[in-house]
Amino acid sequence: MDNELVELIMVDTRERMAKAIEHVKVEFANVRTGRASSSFVENLMVDYYGAETPLKQLANFSVPEPRLLVVSPYDKGAMAAIEKAISSADLGLNPSNDGVVIRLAFPTLTEERRRSFVKIVKTKAEDAKVALRAVRRHARQELENLEKEQGLSKDEIEHFEKVLDKMTQDEVAVVDALLSHKEQELLEV
């Protein structure tokens, strides 16, 4: 019984840490690199015939050049609404509509802007590490409760705490690797 509960705690902890990693990946994807990517606009809400609809459900995206994103609406009647949503989203992008597709030219980032994005990414990475440590702390509290309630031995608790520490270190290393990759991407001219 004891080991089943401990195993449940460990599985829950792994899942929560994986969610934290997925969250930081999404956060990093939303930071502009100067390279065109649909991730900046695909979740924009568009007023499509009175219903707020994500842009990714209304259009197809392509990147024919590194700094150009082409949005191809499935319904040409939605062009004006899509263009309005992109303009009002304050992304620093000016949509260009030719009646068939909407082109978004991504301007080159200045060195100063790149550095500010790096700071933002570092903050997001630190937030992810804090979240991972909070998950570890929660798991430790659950293990301590099991120790009191179920009579787990000190040796077992120490063993599982070492496993928790190793899991946390591994996930923090993943965040560091993601951060390093994103920094490189941001600083690349």
Give residue-wise pLDDT tens across range 163-187.
999 999 999 999 999 999 999 888 8
Q: Which long-range contacts (CB under 8 A, 24 or more apart) does 152-155 make?
A: 152/2, 152/6
Which residues, at least 6 apart from 28, have a Cβ–Cβ distance to it below 8 Å?
A: 121, 124, 178, 179, 182
pTM as predicted: 0.70
Residue 189 has pLDDT above 70, yes or no: no
Render pLDDT for 22-57 as a digit per residue (tens, 0 to 9): 999 988 877 766 677 777 788 888 998 888 999 889
Tens digits of residue pLDDT in 77-97: 889 899 888 888 777 778 888
**Residue 183: alpha-carbon gap to chain centroid:** 15
Instruction: Tell me the average pLDDT of the chain.
Output: 87
Domain residue limits, the chain: 2-30+110-187, 38-105
The CATH number corresponding to 38-105 among 3.30.1360.40, 1.10.3470.10, 1.20.1250.20, 3.30.2000.10 equals 3.30.1360.40
CATH code that applies to domain 2-30+110-187: 1.10.132.20
